[in-house]
Structure 1
Amino acid sequence: MKKKSSFSARGKRADIGDLVIYRILPNRYAEAVGPFVFLDHIAPTIQTKVNKEGTGAHPHRGIATLSYILNGEDEHFDSAGNYAMVHSGGVQWMNAGNGIIHDETLNYDSRTDSKLTHAFQFWINLPSAIKAGKPAYLAIEGNEVPYKELPDGKGWIKVIAGAFEELRSSIPSYSEQFIYHIHLEPGAGFTANFADRSEVAAFLPLMPASINDEKFDAGEFIEFDRNAGSIALLNGNQEAADVILFGGEPYQEPIVAEGPFVMNSMLEIADAYRDFHCGKYGKIDYEKQKLKA
């Protein structure tokens, strides 16, 4: 049985500097899909100059951030001393744990002639026991992301988080979670099956597509019912199309989000702000961390 769509929505503009950004999640219909409480689509942009300012140093607590860089290169610094740059196809993952400060800068990929940047950032809500733990960090280059071609030249699938068949991401899972990037050639289809109560959403970044026999436009976010069933994608365009499928098991604890913090109560939000203003999250030493790399 095919899963039914519950609703569809479009993102709201949330630009940073020259980056055109659409806030996909949360939206007026949903505050979370599985463990995912936030999704920004950094729209494709041709950069004419190098971005030197990045997002600016800012705190997080209670979540893991996941930046998936389709095109470009992403430089990461944080107050736990982590530094890395990943390039087109790569992933930056950071568990903020009980508090961290980080900064990211997205630029075009210096290893290619392309000036294109295109990316996603997800926030993964952590179980309360993990929120109190130490921060952690992982940088994954594009050639390390699990990937396989679909049969008969129909396209390919990348597993950014979670698992699909024999593919398994190296990003830690604290609850059931998945992010699939599915690339379909013209006329091609793809079907995935999901268990009962699994929360699933799709996003169409650049091209329209049919999902379970419904047509959706580029830029649409679609959430589905929680019954067991399949999601069938079909690319009816004359050119290739991409679909992001993501979700997981329902988050079982209260969700209280404010600014860069996602906790389980307002008291914990107040504690997060207090600890940040008291300097407990540390500082980023940009020069030292870059020299160590």
Structure 2
Amino acid sequence: MKKETSFSTKGNRANLGPLSINRMLPNRYANKVGPFVFLDYVAPAIKETITKNGMGAHPHRGIATLTYILQGEVEHFDSAGNGGKIYSGGAQWMKAGNGIIHDENFNYDSQTDSKFIEGFQFWINLPAKNKAENPEHMAIQANEVPQKVLQNQKGWIKVIIGNYEELNSKIPNYSEQFLYHIHLEADKQFSISIKDKIEVAAFLPTKNALLNDTEFQAGEFVEFGRKAGEIEIKNTTEKAIDIILFGGEEYTEPMVAEGPFVMNSLGEIADAYRDFYAGKYGQIKSIKKSA
């Protein structure tokens, strides 16, 4: 049985310098999908200049952030002393835990001739017991992301978070969760089974697709019902398409989100701000200059 669609939306758009940012989650219909509480999509653009001094240091607490870059280069710095740089196809994961300040440079990929940039940033809500843990960071290059070719050369699937068949991501899971990048060739289709009570959404970055026989447009965010069933993706165009599919088990603990913090109560939000202003998150000691 195919899963029913709950809603679809195109989110809100804002410009940040040369970047066009589409805020897909939270939206007017939902504030979370499984443990995922935030999704920004950096739409394809040409970036001519190099950012060297960061895009604006800011704090987080109670979540993990996940940056997945389709095209471009992201350099990370934080107050726990972590640093790393990923290139096109790579992912960067940071557990904010009990508090961290981070910044990043988002540039075109210096390893290629292309100046195009495109990518995603997700926030993943942590269970209450993990919100008090120390920060962690992990940079994963494109060749380290688990990937397999789909049967009959239909395309491929990458597992950014979670697992699919024999593929397992390096990124830690604190609940059942997944984030897949599915690439489907022209005139092909692919189906995936989703268990009961799993929240799941799809995002279509740049091209239309048929999801369970309904056509959705490029830029649409589509959430499905929670009953077990299949999601069938059809590409009826003459070019390959990409779909981001993500979700997981419902986050059942209380959730309060304010600014860069996601906690379990208003009191914990107040503590998060108090500790930040008291300097307990530390500081970024230096930002290296990008070449």
Common fold: TM-score over 0.5: yes
Written as runs of structure 1 = structure 2, the 5 A alignment for 1:234-273 is 234-273=234-273
1:30-69 alpha-carbon deviations (Å, 9 max, x no partner) = 0000000000000011112112343311000000000001
1:147 and 2:141 matched: no
Q: How far apart, CA to CA, are the structure 1 residues paired with 2:238 and 2:220?
A: 19
Q: CA RMSD of the aligned region, Å?
A: 1.0
Counterpart of 2:274 in 1: which secondary structure? helix
Q: How far apart, CA to CA, are the structure 2 residues paired with 1:236 and 1:54?
A: 41
Q: How far apart, CA to CA, are the structure 2 residues paired with 1:56 and 1:91?
A: 20
Q: Please tell me the residue identity of whatever aligns with 2:55.
A: T
> Residue 271 of structure 1: CA displacement?
0.3
> Residue 238 of structure 1: CA displacement?
1.1
Q: How far apart, CA to CA, are the structure 2 residues paired with 1:207 and 1:54?
A: 31
For residues 54 and 17 of structure 1, do their structure 2 counterparts lie closer, same or farther at Cα, with a shift above 3 Å needed? Answer: farther
Written as runs of structure 1 = structure 2, the 5 A alignment for 1:1-293 is 1-287=1-287, 290=288
Q: How far apart, CA to CA, are the structure 2 residues paired with 1:190 and 1:266?
A: 43
> Residue 105 of structure 1: CA displacement?
1.4
Q: How far apart, CA to CA, are the structure 2 residues paired with 1:135 and 1:172?
A: 13
Q: Please tell me the residue identity of whatever aligns with 1:8.
A: S
TM (norm. structure 2) is: 0.98
Q: How far apart, CA to CA, are the structure 1 residues paired with 2:11 and 2:142?
A: 26
> Residue 170 of structure 1: CA displacement?
0.4
Q: Please tell me the residue identity of whatever aligns with 2:250.
A: P
1:157-184 alpha-carbon deviations (Å, 9 max, x no partner) = 0000000000010000000010000000
Q: Please tell me the residue identity of whatever aligns with 2:205.
A: P
Q: Please tell me the residue identity of whatever aligns with 1:183.
A: H
Whether the 8 Å contact between 1:16 and 1:55 is mirrored in structure 2 is no
1:136-163 alpha-carbon deviations (Å, 9 max, x no partner) = 1100000000001112221100000000
Q: How far apart, CA to CA, are the structure 2 residues paired with 1:54 and 1:238?
A: 40
1:111-156 alpha-carbon deviations (Å, 9 max, x no partner) = 1000010000000000000001111110000000000111222110
> Residue 202 of structure 1: CA displacement?
0.3
Q: How far apart, CA to CA, are the structure 2 residues paired with 1:136 and 1:113?
A: 32
Q: How far apart, CA to CA, are the structure 2 residues paired with 1:111 and 1:48?
A: 15
Q: How far apart, CA to CA, are the structure 1 residues paired with 2:144 and 2:188?
A: 26
Q: How far apart, CA to CA, are the structure 1 residues paired with 2:16 and 2:124?
A: 21
Q: Please tell me the residue identity of whatever aligns with 1:41.
A: Y
Q: How far apart, CA to CA, are the structure 2 residues paired with 1:68 and 1:28?
A: 24
Q: How far apart, CA to CA, are the structure 2 residues paired with 1:17 and 1:76?
A: 19
Q: How far apart, CA to CA, are the structure 2 residues paired with 1:32 and 1:91?
A: 21
Q: Please tell me the residue identity of whatever aligns with 2:210.
A: S
Runs of 4+ in 1 over 3 A off after TM superposition: none
Whether the 8 Å contact between 1:202 and 1:223 is mirrored in structure 2 is yes
What is the aligned-residue identity percentage?
A: 63
Q: How far apart, CA to CA, are the structure 1 residues paired with 2:25 and 2:55?
A: 19
Whether the 8 Å contact between 1:195 and 1:229 is mirrored in structure 2 is yes
1:236-256 alpha-carbon deviations (Å, 9 max, x no partner) = 111110000000000011110
Whether the 8 Å contact between 1:36 and 1:123 is mirrored in structure 2 is yes
TM (norm. structure 1) is: 0.97
Q: How far apart, CA to CA, are the structure 2 residues paired with 1:28 and 1:259?
A: 17
Counterpart of 1:247 in 2: which secondary structure? strand
Counterpart of 2:236 in 1: which secondary structure? coil
Q: Please tell me the residue identity of whatever aligns with 2:116.
A: L
Gapped regions of structure 1 (runs ≥ 5): none
Gapped regions of structure 2 (runs ≥ 5): none
Counterpart of 1:75 in 2: which secondary structure? strand
Q: How far apart, CA to CA, are the structure 2 residues paired with 1:131 and 1:269?
A: 12
